[in-house]
Structure 1
Amino acid sequence: MTGIEFLVSFLRTGRLHGIGIGSTLDEVDRAVRHRFVDVVDEGGESLRRDYGFVEFSFNPGDEWVMSGGSIELHRLASGPDMAGEWARTMGVEFPRHVSWEAVREELAHVPGAPELTVGDQGGFLEYRAAASNVSVTVVDDEEEERGYHAGHGDVWSVSLWAPVRAR
């Protein structure tokens, strides 16, 4: 699977390899077969699992439960070996730079594609898909050129957040 196809699926469903908000740490371990580093805060109130350019956050309870995640695509520009390793372990091939235009073009061909709202984040644009609780941050600085970092029009990151429950 290409990285673009993977991102489009994530935008549509809010799921990565079948996991998402509410998935347990055991479910994540079964779905993601890639080396990682766990970082638990001092009080044991949160866990961040870092796979290199992919990270998940967990909250405690009877067991750790996913509360969010992100795909830090900007890290691939200066560390393309991360993409090769992810392709070997997860079967998803990401390019060194991911163009937002390419993602949007692929998304336009997907039935049930979520509606996106856009907001300015000062040098970045954030495209939010409320239906899937996924947002895409895109470099919006005309002077940023591709190289060892993401350039103008490239995806910086894709994030998953827990929906806010009405009280």
Structure 2
Amino acid sequence: MNGIAFLASFLRTGRLHGLGIGSTLDEAGRAVRHRFVDVVDEGGESLRRDHGFVEFSFNPGDEWVMSGASIELHRLASGHDMAREWARIMEVDFPRHVAWEAVREELERVPGAPELTVSAQGGFLEYRAEASHVSVLVVDDEEEERGCHTGHGDVWSVSLWAPVRAR
């Protein structure tokens, strides 16, 4: 699958390789067959499963459950071998640089695409899809040029967050 189409689907559904908020660590292990490192914080209150440029966060309970996920696309600019390995194992092909405009154009073609709100975040623009709980950080510094790092208008990261429950 094309990485741009994959990101547009993630923005619409809030699902990453079939995983979403509340998915278990076992489900993540079955869905994502890529090598990883698990990092548990000192108090045992959170676990981060790091697959290189894709990370999942889990909270404890009866079992570890997903509380968030992120695709750190900025890491691909200087380490595109990560993307090639991901494409081989997970069958999603990400380019070295991901232009926000390409993702936005693809999202416009996706049925049921969520409404996006935008806000400035100190050198970035954040596009939030409240319906799917996914946000996109885009480089908003005109002096940033593509190369071994992301440039102006490129996606820095795409993140899934758990909704805040009313008390």
TM-score by length of structure 2 reads 0.99
Q: Deviations over 1:64-116 (max 9, x none)?
A: 00000100000000000000000011000000000000000011111100000
For residue 73 of structure 2, give the secondary structure of its aligned residue in structure 1: coil
The aligned residue for residue 15 of structure 2 is: 15
Say how many residue pairs are matched.
Answer: 167
| Amino acid in the other structure paired with 1:142 | E
The aligned residue for residue 59 of structure 1 is: 59
Q: Deviations over 1:3-45 (max 9, x none)?
A: 0010000000000111110000000011000000000011111
For residue 158 of structure 1, give the secondary structure of its aligned residue in structure 2: strand
| Amino acid in the other structure paired with 1:114 | P
The aligned residue for residue 93 of structure 1 is: 93
The aligned residue for residue 84 of structure 1 is: 84
The aligned residue for residue 134 of structure 2 is: 134
The aligned residue for residue 163 of structure 2 is: 163
For residue 78 of structure 1, give the secondary structure of its aligned residue in structure 2: coil
| Amino acid in the other structure paired with 2:94 | F
| Amino acid in the other structure paired with 1:76 | L
Unpaired stretches in structure 2, ≥5 consecutive residues: none
Residues 138-149 of structure 1: matches in 2 within 5 Å? 138-149=138-149
For residue 67 of structure 2, give the secondary structure of its aligned residue in structure 1: strand
The aligned residue for residue 121 of structure 1 is: 121
Unpaired stretches in structure 1, ≥5 consecutive residues: none
CA distance in 2, matches of 1:109, 1:12: 11
The aligned residue for residue 24 of structure 2 is: 24
Instruction: Write out the 4+ residue segments of structure 1 that deviate beyond 3 Å after TM superposition.
Output: none
The aligned residue for residue 5 of structure 1 is: 5
The two structures, once aligned, show a CA RMSD in angstroms of 0.4
CA distance in 2, matches of 1:25, 1:50: 12
